[in-house]
Structure 1
Amino acid sequence: MTGVLLLVAGVAALTAHSWINATRWLRRPADGPVRAAETVAVLLPLRDEAARVTPCLRALLAQRGVPDLRIVVLDDGSADGTADVVRAVAGADPRVTLLTGVAPPPGWLGKPHACHQLATRADPAATVLAFVDADVVLTPYAVAAAVAELRAARVTLLSPYPRIVVATAADRLVQPLLQWLWLTFLPLRAMERSPRPSLAAAGGQFLVADRAGYDAAGGHAAVRARVLEDIELARAVKRSGGRIALADGSRLAACRMYDDWPQLRDGYTKSLWATFGHPGAAAAVLSLLLLLYAAPPLIALVALLAGAPAVAALASLGYLLGAAGRVVSARATGGRWWPDALGHPVSVVVLGWLTLRSYHLRKRRRLSWRGRPVS
């Protein structure tokens, strides 16, 4: 009984922390008419994105509130006609520059190298760099609002996390864990104030950076071999003396990261090992997550069958408190909470399996993404 009580208390504390983060410390950029009176370069890396780049690029061309907007697109060795789609959508718009990328040299991974090429080729007059992925669709004032929040927060790097679009059961099980994890376990206020690189988070789908601070941190060259280049860039900014911030970007951007289960499975598999680092750390974190969030419904069922209704009721409370954390996260970031939050224990189990798969395939040197090895 005491062990179950401690478990419930732990879940309650973490859910309370999520609520405090969501209601007090999570930044929320304005989603209405905003003006950013500086030169902004929007940087779009593409590799085999012919099927999804059109909505993204059209949204960039429709941006308002940034009178001096430059859009730089890099075709990173696509084999599906991505560059042709870009030319068809952009037409003769003078704001758009299409670059042809070169293969990453030894020691570089594909995404950091693509972003590095874009940053080095962006107009020198641009004081802000906004990195956008092809699966992101921005609202009309998204860039202006993100730049305004970057300046208002006085940070070097702002990560306005998009609303994650979910369409399949797998999406609904796994994708909401992204926001849930950092709202639950990361103290947002301390992250902004502390110079410690370990207190860092960022989402590469939509990143806005002060150019001078980005260059001082070494840019993407500083994270050239990192799978999680977005988080590592945030850490590099902190090491150089800059500051970072997370924001709810659900009113600024929407992102459908993966089209189906194989893509989602492989997308998480390629990077989860880098999230946890040493396998021992991964085992410890996953054991804690499973104990806190997957065990309570099982304990409740076993206790009920064993004729211990008090223990069953307490364990059920732990389960509901865990689901409440998912509700808090979803409501704070524009996500879907009903009935998805009730499946939170299953979500945590799936995360554990994906993490094991990630370490297994890395050990066998079989991790790859978009036709390139990941090491």
Structure 2
Amino acid sequence: MTAGLAATAAGTLVVAALTAHTAVNAGRWLRRLPAEPDPAGDPAGGTPADPDPAGDRAGGTPSGPDRPAERVAVLLPLRNEADRVAPCLRALLAQRGGPELDIVLLDDGSTDGTAEVVRRVAAEERAAGSPRPRLVTGAPLPAGWLGKPYACQQLAGHADPAATVLVFVDADVLLAPRAVAAAVAGLRRADVTLLSPYPRIVAETAGERLVQPLLQWLWLTFLPLRAMERSRRAALAAAGGQFLVVDRAGYAAAGCHAAVRDRILEDIELARAVKRSGGRIALADASALASCRMYGSWAQLRDGYTKSLWASFGSPVSAAAVLAALLALYTAPPLLAVAAALAGAVPVALLALAGYLLGVAGRVLSARRTGGRCWPDALAHPVSVALLGWLTFRSYHLRRARRLSWRGRPVR
């Protein structure tokens, strides 16, 4: 066997093993928050049953053993979200299947009329007799803090003191009517301190469809979910800040968002802080209950990833090593297959083609499990990985040049 054939065979075997790991994670270990309640009810913490076929808005009188007895505070940080906050807020106000929610929004120095939009929606609610939601104005950003951790820290301080669960939601998330009740039930059933119910990521433009599916694919492929839940290692952690559910006592024990005040990936770092304090974390597929379109244009997507990718890998050396491996395993095979076929090296071409198709299969498995789009997007998986490499390079370059910023604030 020639060196080229051996190297191609080895790479294909690695991709096969990673795709098998994706299948195991997706099929066995990834928790799921179902769209419909369990008709039998699950007082132990499953999805709440609904004895009232017509449903009830959150804030109705709880009834039945399936209804969560604890108080829940839903916390929404806002900075220049005037174009998205109204649908998000109305979805929160339409929550049902649980007790009344304390909904608190914090305007973090918005300049686009975000607060005015919230006040209009709040006025509609008050006209209907509801005291919700509450809008608070954020304090100036102190030295040593990044914007989102400080906004979340303030929100936690404004939450109902009787709330035992805090639910952090971003303005680009749309929740189904039972999402909060199901997420809180999922937190308790998993017996964890922090649950990250991952929403379905909406991708409409070509750039979004190339990049956004990598979020779920990366952790389903490379993160051992079962070990993450069981292990006390803080490094073995993942979370998504778009929709985050945390036990309040455990959140306090972890140091709240003050523990991650200067972290650009505050969601993952909060999960690690929870682990360091002795708590446990879990991921769940919430694609049937929540959706999120994180970026509305290529420029927003590019800048959003650029601001944070450097923090995902650590040192530039680590980033270079990881990206080199990803490019070799997922981007090189189709190129090698064509080159080998043209050169008449049929065995190499066939092995490289198999490696490419196995990579596509992993992408399909991830998309199917998390509500994503499979075809024809998965066929462009090599391009997606190459684009991730470029965005990472850009992130390190702009960080070194001290030119990283997000929503009008510098990222240090």
TM-score normalized by structure 2? 0.90
Which of 342, 347, 355 aligns to 1:318? It is 355
- Partner Cα separation in structure 1 for residue 269 and residue 258 of structure 2: 11
Which of 93, 117, 120 aligns to 1:85? It is 117
Please state if 1:59 is matched with 2:91. yes
Please state if 1:135 is matched with 2:167. no
- Partner Cα separation in structure 1 for residue 69 and residue 83 of structure 2: 33
- Give the letter aligned to residue 10 of structure 1: V
Q: Map 1:199-348 to 2 at 5 A.
A: 199-348=236-385
**Aligned residues, how many?**
375
1:337 shift after superposition: 0.6
Contact 1:40 1:66 in 2 (8 A): no
- Partner Cα separation in structure 1 for residue 133 and residue 339 of structure 2: 62
Contact 1:38 1:68 in 2 (8 A): no
Contact 2:34 2:286 in 1 (8 A): no
> What is aligned with 2:62?
none
Structure whose CA Rg is larger: 2
1:127 shift after superposition: 0.2
Contact 2:200 2:371 in 1 (8 A): yes
1:103 shift after superposition: 1.9
- Partner Cα separation in structure 2 for residue 36 and residue 313 of structure 1: 56
Please state if 1:5 is matched with 2:9. yes
Contact 1:128 1:208 in 2 (8 A): yes
Consecutive unaligned residues of structure 2, counting only runs of 5 or more, are 38-47, 49-66
- Give the letter aligned to residue 237 of structure 2: A
- Partner Cα separation in structure 1 for residue 329 and residue 284 of structure 2: 27
Please state if 1:149 is matched with 2:186. yes
RMSD over equivalenced CA pairs, Å: 0.7
> What is aligned with 1:188?
225
SS of residue matched to 2:241: coil
1:36 shift after superposition: 2.3
Which of 152, 168, 174 aligns to 2:211? It is 174
> What is aligned with 2:61?
none
Contact 1:158 1:245 in 2 (8 A): yes
1:77 shift after superposition: 0.4
1:68 shift after superposition: 2.5
- Partner Cα separation in structure 2 for residue 95 and residue 58 of structure 1: 11
Which of 30, 48, 54 aligns to 1:26? It is 30
1:90 shift after superposition: 2.0
1:300-358 deviations in whole A, cap 9, x for unaligned?
Answer: 01101101112111100000000000000000100001010000000000000000000
- Partner Cα separation in structure 1 for residue 6 and residue 246 of structure 2: 48
Contact 2:145 2:262 in 1 (8 A): yes
Consecutive unaligned residues of structure 1, counting only runs of 5 or more, are none
1:30 shift after superposition: 2.7
Please state if 1:350 is matched with 2:387. yes
Please state if 1:38 is matched with 2:103. no
SS of residue matched to 1:245: strand
- Partner Cα separation in structure 1 for residue 145 and residue 341 of structure 2: 55
